A and B are shown apart, each in its own frame.
Chain A
């Protein structure tokens, strides 16, 4: 089984330097892209690979790039941004990729920038990732030194500057238009779309925002071709995926596996199954803003399409496990509290609805909830559903709640009847 993304990652060792990565053949894709291919060749190739964005939404990367106009208006500048603001509860994959092999990300960013003819690129990094920051700063300096960044890259006449921006906190900055506002020094509030960033993004210029894992794929796809990429997968969606598991399993961690690896295999084989004395009740497949899946879904192939058919989303592919000794209501309350705290406050349903929902869930935990509170919770999932809010923040927050109400209704009822949390 091939593991292109993690092949050169050894968490026990410092990451490869620019010279070591060169020796390992690491810049082959970059060299090929810049010296043998036109920007539109690269976009076509990425489109053919059918690479889907790995930040959670699964938007086709090639399509996103193809929406960027050839000639930029205004200052004439185009931007590429690596979204490294990883903060989805339960998600820890981009940190692993950045700290393990920074030059893979950097070469992916250079190729992506060349493909859309961007002159400036940014890594928008989560403030908490101090180790990633140090590793990336060193790697960027090495890449300049080696002639992969700056003016006249590899003698091709192509110029690119790459900056690292460390953020100042707030989950919403992972939303691409909020990220752009934050990079402009403003409050991180999402923007109305259209216009989409591809035509009017950072400082009003054409901008592409891609997730770290997505960008890490680009050098490999360019080097080995779209067909190779598609064949890595067990399903129709190409590539491998970095899957992760946290919670009460024997071996929590991250693994690069073929896209579409069944949920049961990830939990039982790779994560070692449940810890002794704990029973699996459900999972959240891809970060806090995805719907629960339960034991009936264990044979689901973990790709975007198959997970969608269970009513959930693959999201970031980092799984959180709910065990029988953790209260499902407390689990959901914890997630809703996070989303309430992280709401940017711009639109009313989200700003007011999330704290209200948090308050009701808290009353379940405190034993003061009434039967009608279940109806109110259920209304909230509709009021804050897709289409009723400015961005996807509140609808995402509603996903674990709406599926929790469906799968764990009896547990909610027990809180009402027993007038306390049965797990406390």
Chain B
């Protein structure tokens, strides 16, 4: 069941488009903002709200990288592994975080605090290596500063 608040926010997006299904990506983002990820039930609820087939909604949900169809941790670490960051040493950044949290790309810590994911170019190439934690961008990431950085996210 979509909450009252979710429905209200989705309705607002629908009003900007010529037909309901056009708000599908917005609806997925809204529900994910409230719940952290998109469950099978959420797909079904969104489909009903937008008068779409469930599989159609799922085909869209699974297409977009930033829609999570599996549970994720409270904080998401996105490490850029693209070319400029590769040249500037993303691997040592990844290795440090991975060892520190005992998770690899695609995994979540057992306490549900962090999920670690690779990400394509963050558009901060002159400040490589770069990473994002939730909505925060970190530039010129130095391995020695990572522990302190992670401390801010509970």
Contacts and interface: CB of A to CB of B under 8 A. Distances in A.
Interface of A: 75, 86-92, 94-95, 126-131, 163, 166-171, 182, 184-188, 203, 244-248, 252-254, 284, 288, 318, 320-323, 326, 330-331, 334-335, 338, 341-342, 344
**Which label, helix, strand, loop or mixed, suits the secondary structure of the B interface?**
mixed
B24 A185 contact: yes
A98 to B, nearest CB: 10
A397 B83 CA distance: 13
B64 A169 contact: yes
A330 B120 CA distance: 16
Contact of B120 (A89, A188, A320): A89
A88 B136 CA distance: 21
Interface stretch (B15-23, B103-111, B141-149): B15-23
Given A87-B120, A185-B22, A338-B82, A127 B66 contact: yes
A177 to B, nearest CB: 15
A86 B123 CA distance: 7
Given A168-B65, A331-B83, A245 B121 contact: no
Given A168-B67, A185-B25, A185-B26, A247 B87 contact: yes
A298 to B, nearest CB: 19
Contact of B65 (A169, A253, A318, A323): A169
For the complex of A and B, the 5 pairs showing the least CB-CB separation, nearest first, are: A169-B65, A246-B125, A168-B64, A252-B126, A185-B24
Contacts of B121: 87-91, 288, 338
Interface string B57-93: 0011001111100000000001001111011100000
A92 B124 contact: yes
B25 A168 contact: yes
Given A87-B123, A318-B125, A247 B25 contact: no
Given A334-B82, A338-B83, 19 more contacts: A94-B123, A95-B123, A128-B132, A128-B137, A131-B137, A168-B64, A168-B67, A182-B25, A185-B21, A185-B23, A185-B60, A247-B88, A252-B126, A252-B127, A330-B86, A331-B86, A334-B81, A334-B86, A342-B120
B29 A252 contact: no
B125 A187 contact: no
B101 interface: no
Nearest to A341: B120
14 contacts: A89-B84, A89-B121, A92-B123, A92-B126, A127-B66, A166-B29, A167-B25, A168-B25, A169-B66, A185-B17, A187-B63, A246-B88, A246-B125, A320-B83
B56 to A, nearest CB: 9
Nearest to A323: B87
